[in-house]
Structure 1
């Protein structure tokens, strides 16, 4: 984003390396690769992107680093990256930009002033848009208003009373998507009786819904917010060690129960009814939670391919990515 801004506008980065000397920081990156999670490959420059219309639209030139040795590449080093492991902090990206010349509009008629903006036609709130795309308001309602759904979730996952169900909101009357809100966010929405707020997105999604009528409970935790939900579950959880986890990561399709690694793991999985399960890692990723799905006679991970690959790298301690689809096909042919 910063590199694209420097290339498109008269901006420069202010060197703030002398500020807050006690704060550990790292300089900004001037080179990086772009990951294509679908094909599991990395692109170093725009010409590496396959000549495919869909990929050309997805991986645009501004996503790639500036040319090596260019003025923009030198400027990028003035950015600051604060990494959690350096000083027990949060992770932050800091950059201070300064305008070096007036911004010209697209017609080249000079920079717009505050008066120019005031004279423009006022845009109605309901038609607020960005680049032609309307903001879709997301209404949030307390889940406690639907007690039958609350009771079904509590019973199926045997939830402890410690889970703050009053901070869970639904996005529709059907309760298909459930969001977990912070302590301060929910009261703010509750007091907004006149809908002064236009909520675009709120909270972290903790549950989605499966419409299958064969399931005891259609609501399932999602990977995005499982860490907030899983510690309060007393049912539908399985402890998974590194060996069993590696086996699940290597197979994108669910494994038959008899194919699972570990006798205890197989027996516990076999006793579960169909539906969502949460796998609690006990090995290298101890304390982590992964969403899974138990079929009638199978079990598999319910996570994105990119997350699956990242976990596999961490588990195996590998610096290189797994084979791409093309490499797999080539090896299979050989």
Structure 2
């Protein structure tokens, strides 16, 4: 019997959440409209009907209250999974996440754990209004005490959400909302990688392309276009933004001698900045060109009609590839 099923990323998350709820009765879901409605993106659809409204809770519109309640539940032995409806709505809960959730284990010298998952749909490409298309990952990756991950495929979504829920540390789980409807194969029996491992997606010989979340699809598109022009690009999916698994990245750069990092978030003081700096430090003598970055601009996310000008596309990535090869 086949253990592989093709499904969109949103359904893979739903299946992963369902399995976590069924496996551990201390797991519960919390968020605005996640119960009867199934969430804005229907990621939790059907779960309240299956597990009841004491396991899948519709909360008031109060992100700080959601996370604060989750912290108390975690102290009492539960494993709460909080949904933040859109990326830009996380900031009312920012204080709870960065000054309480991230620090409580350290404050108590490891005697308590904080198994809380904060699910955040993030990123652009959906033509939404202000506060609905942001990329806040750097704030959380910079905060000691938080784990930060982002799946780019349905298979990763299915396994990573379960691994995040099983973690004893708080996990910021960033879901690329533009990929909720992108289908892929999910192996329901065996995980491919641990939670914090980078993933080699495509082999190449000339330039290493690195990114996370929705940007991985864009990198693969750029690699296909580059191949048609005679350039071989290797693609690596970061998957985990904190901690970062540099092994596959450094191995790749030592083979290709060149690297381009692409992200939707602004470039200033970003995850891409950190990866670029670390690669320059740890693989300097293998590099034939500086590590280059392609990012959103250092400006607020624009209105929907202008998002295509703001977000990196294959052409901008290929321009960086050409610059790297020109050195």
**If the TM-score is normalised by the length of the shorter chain, which range does it land in?**
under 0.3
Q: Which has the larger radius of gyration?
A: 1
Structure-1-length-normalised TM-score? 0.23
Determine which structure has greater relative contact order: mean sequence separation of CA pairs < 8 Å that are 6+ residues apart, divided by chain length: 2
Structure-2-length-normalised TM-score? 0.23
